[in-house]
Amino acid sequence: MTIFYLIIFLISVVFSVFYVVKWNKRYNIYFTLLFCLIPFSCYGYFQTEIAETVGTYILGTKLIYLGGCFCMLATTLNIMELCHVKTKRVYKFILFLLSLFSYLSVLTIGSFGFFYKSVTLTFTADLGRVVTKNYGVGHTIFHILVVFSFLLAILALFEGYRRSDKVSRITVLLLFIMMLISGFFYIAARLPVYIPEMTPLGYVIAQVVFLLIADRLVLYDMDSSVIDVSVQRGQIGVVSFDTKLRYLGSNDVAKEFFPDLVDLPVDKNVTQDPNKIASHFVEWIREVKESPEVVEKIYRKNGHVFKILGDEMMDNGRVRGYTFMINDDTEEQEYKRLLKNYNESLESDVEQKTKHIVEMYDRIVMGMVDVVESRDINTGGHVRRSSHGVRILVGEMKKDPSLKLTDKFCEDVIKAAPMHDLGKIAVDDAVLRKKGRFTDEEYAMMKIHPAKGAEILHNVLEPLEDQEFARIAENVAHYHHERPDGKGYPDHLKGDEIPLEARIMAIADVYDALVSKRCYKDRMSFEEADRIMLDGMGSQFDASLEPYYIAAREKLEAYYLKCFEDDDDTKGLN
C-alpha cells in the first residue's frame, strides 16, 4: 500500500495546485480549506505506512486526523452553501468548535490517553510491522462527530435536490455520489475483516468533484458573470468607498468617465475634498445608506448620460463600504426618450380615437333609447327622470365608506341607467302604445323587455374596451325588475343574486312610476309613494339600500317638483 498512498498523495497535491491556478474570487472559503487540508491528510497516510517508530507513526496519525476533523467540517458546510441551506453563524461556529476539540484530543496522542490510550509498533518475521492501538474516549467522540456531519450533509443534499429552481441537479448528484463513496470507504475500513484503508482515495475523489463544481460555479452566478465580463471589456466603471467615506479606488473605466477621480487620493475622505464628483458620491452614499434596495442614479455630464448603481459592500452580514457601478447609458437613455415621446404621441392619438368611438357608441345607444321613449306613450320622460334618481341615490351611497364603492363603478351605474328600458324596442307597438292597463297576455309580452335589452346591449357594447361598463349596463337592463323575495322577472333572482347596480335601478325606476302621471293613473303624492317604497323594502327592494333611499328622499322630491314645474303641471302635488 506504500506506493498506493504515495501516488494518492502526489495526485492530491497536483489537484490542489490546479485549484490554486483556477481559483476565482467567488469560491467560498470551504473550497480553499478542503484543497489545503487534503494533501496533508493524504501524506499522513503515507507517513504512517512507512513509519518504523512510534513517534513517526503518531506524527502521521495527527496529519491524518487533521483532514478527518476539518475536511468533514469543510465538506458539510460547503454542501450546505452549494444547496442554499441557510445556517446561522452560531451553528457553524459550534461545528467548528466541536471539530477543533476533536483535533485537540488527537494532539494528545503520545502524551495522554484521551484519544489513544496506547500505540505500539512490533516487527515480526511473518507479519512484518504490526500496529496495536488502544482507543480512548476522544476516538469515540471523533466518530460521532463524523457520522453527525455526514448526516447533516446528506440532509442538505436532499434539500438542494428539492429546490431545483436554485440548485443544479448535476451538482447535487455529484456531491451525493462523492458522499456515498466516502461513506463506503469509511465503513469498510472499520469492518471486522481486513480491508485496506481507502479514505485517501475518497479525498481525491472529493477533490475531483469539487473541481468540477468549482469550474461551473461561476457559470451559475449569472449576475456576477455578466458584470465581470462587462468590467473586463471596459464597459463598466467601478468606484468604492469605506464606511468612513474614504475613497478606496476605481478602475480605469470609471476614471475615463469621471477624470476628477484621477486626482482623488486613495484613503481620502471625500467629504473633505473640493472635487465636484466627490460631492456627488457623498450624496449618493447617503441615499445608499437610507435605501434597502440598490440605488439607481442618472448623471449627465458633457453630453453623456451615466447610469450609476450604488449598493453596500457586505462582509459576513456587516457593511464594510459602498460600491458604485457606472455605465455610459447615453444611447439607451436617448432611445428611451424617443420611445417615450413616440408612446405619448401614440397614446394621445389612441385616446382621441377611443374617445371618438365611445362618443359614437353613446350616441347610437342613446338614439335607440330616444326611439323607445318616443314609442312608449306611457312613460314620457321616464328615462331622464329615473336616471337622475339613480344619480341621487348613488351620490348618497358614495358617502358611506363601508360600501367601498369605486368612482368607476358609480360613474358606470349612472351612465348605464338611461339604457335600462332599451329592450322595449322589441315590444310590439300595440302593447307599448296601449292606453290603459295591460291584460295578462300583454303584460307577459311587456316582461320580455329586460332580457331583450340585455341582449341588445351585449351585442352593441361587446367591441368596447371597457367591458366592466358593458357588464354593468347589461345587468341594469336585465335585472332591474327582479325582487329580493324572488317574485320579480325575468329570472326570479333573490337577494344578493341580483347585481347591486340593478337593485339601485329598481328603486329609482319604481319611484318614478309612482310619482309620475301615466295615461292609466294620476301622479301619487310623495307621502303615499314614500309609504309604498318603505313597505316594499326587503320584499320588492333591497332592504340594505333603505338608509340611502331615506337620505336621498328630500333631494328626489325637490328634483321631481322642479320637473313638474318645468312641465307647467303641479296639480295633485302637496
pLDDT tens for each residue of 419-442: 888 888 888 877 777 777 778 888
Cα–Cα distance for residue pair 375/353, rounded to 1 Å = 33
- What pLDDT, in 10s, does the model give residues 330-388? 767 666 667 776 677 777 666 676 566 556 656 666 666 666 666 555 555 788 888 89
Strand partners, 120: 132
Q: Residue 558 CB: number of other CB atoms within 10 A?
A: 11
- What pLDDT, in 10s, does the model give residues 50-89? 888 888 888 988 898 888 888 888 888 888 888 888 888 8
Output the CA torsion sign for 453, 458, 464, 465. Answer: positive
Looking at per-residue confidence, does 357 or 180 come out higher?
A: 180
Of 83-92, 98-107, 150-159, 395-404, which range is least confident?
83-92
First-to-final CA distance of the chain: 120
Of 92-101, 292-301, 362-371, 536-545, which range is least confident?
362-371
Scored b (16 or more CB within 10 A) or e, 30-59 reads bbebbbbbbbbbbbbbbbbbebeeeeebbb
* Concatenated DSSP letters of 168-221: -HHHHHHHHHHHHHHHHHHHHTTSSS-----HHHHHHHHHHHHHHHHHHHHHH-
Query: According to the model, what pLDDT value does residue 569 have?
Result: 46
Question: What is the distance, to the nearest Å, from the Cα of residue 506 to the centroid of all Cα atoms in its chain?
Answer: 44
Q: Contact at 8 Å (CB) between 326 and 307? A: yes
Strands (E), 193-328: 236-242, 247-250, 295-301, 304-315, 318-328
List the domains of the chain with CATH numbers. 2-220 (1.20.1070), 233-328 (3.30.450.20), 348-566 (1.10.3210.10)
Give the position of cell 432611445: 335
- Does the pLDDT at position 218 exceed 60? no
Q: Contact at 8 Å (CB) between 60 and 45? A: yes
DSSP-based three-state secondary structure for 88 = coil
**Cis, bond preceding 490 (omega within 30 deg of 0):** yes
- What pLDDT, in 10s, does the model give residues 530-561? 999 999 999 999 999 999 999 999 999 999 88
Which helix (H) or strand (E) element contains residue 529? helix 526-535
At 221, the pLDDT band (50, 70, 90 cuts) reads very low
At 476, the pLDDT band (50, 70, 90 cuts) reads very high
At 472, the pLDDT band (50, 70, 90 cuts) reads very high
- What pLDDT, in 10s, does the model give residues 485-544? 999 999 999 999 999 999 999 999 999 989 888 766 788 999 999 999 999 999 999 999
Strands (E), 38-86: none
Q: What is the pLDDT averaged over residues 132-147?
A: 87
440: exposed, middle or buried (Cβ count in 10 Å: 0-12, 13-18, 19+): exposed
- Does the pLDDT at position 212 exceed 70? yes
Looking at per-residue confidence, does 31 or 194 come out higher?
A: 31
Query: According to the model, what pLDDT value does residue 186 have?
Result: 78
Of 112-116, 299-303, 345-349, 355-359, which range is least confident?
355-359
% of the chain beyond a pLDDT of 90:
21
Query: According to the model, what pLDDT value does residue 571 have?
Result: 44
Query: According to the model, what pLDDT value does residue 493 have?
Result: 94
Give the position of cell 428611451: 336
Query: According to the model, what pLDDT value does residue 219 have?
Result: 47
What single-letter DSSP state applies at residue 424?
G
Q: Contact at 8 Å (CB) between 209 and 19? A: no
Q: For residue 391, which of 363, 377, 419, 412 has the smallest C-alpha distance?
A: 412
Query: According to the model, what pLDDT value does residue 265 have?
Result: 82
Alpha-helical regions (H) of 83-168: 89-106, 137-162
- Does the pLDDT at position 573 exceed 70? no
Query: According to the model, what pLDDT value does residue 394 have?
Result: 93
- What pLDDT, in 10s, does the model give residues 31-51? 888 888 889 998 988 998 888
- Does the pLDDT at position 302 exceed 80? no
* Concatenated DSSP letters of 324-336: EEEEE-HHHHHHH
% of the chain beyond a pLDDT of 70:
83
Residue 564 grid cell: 313638474
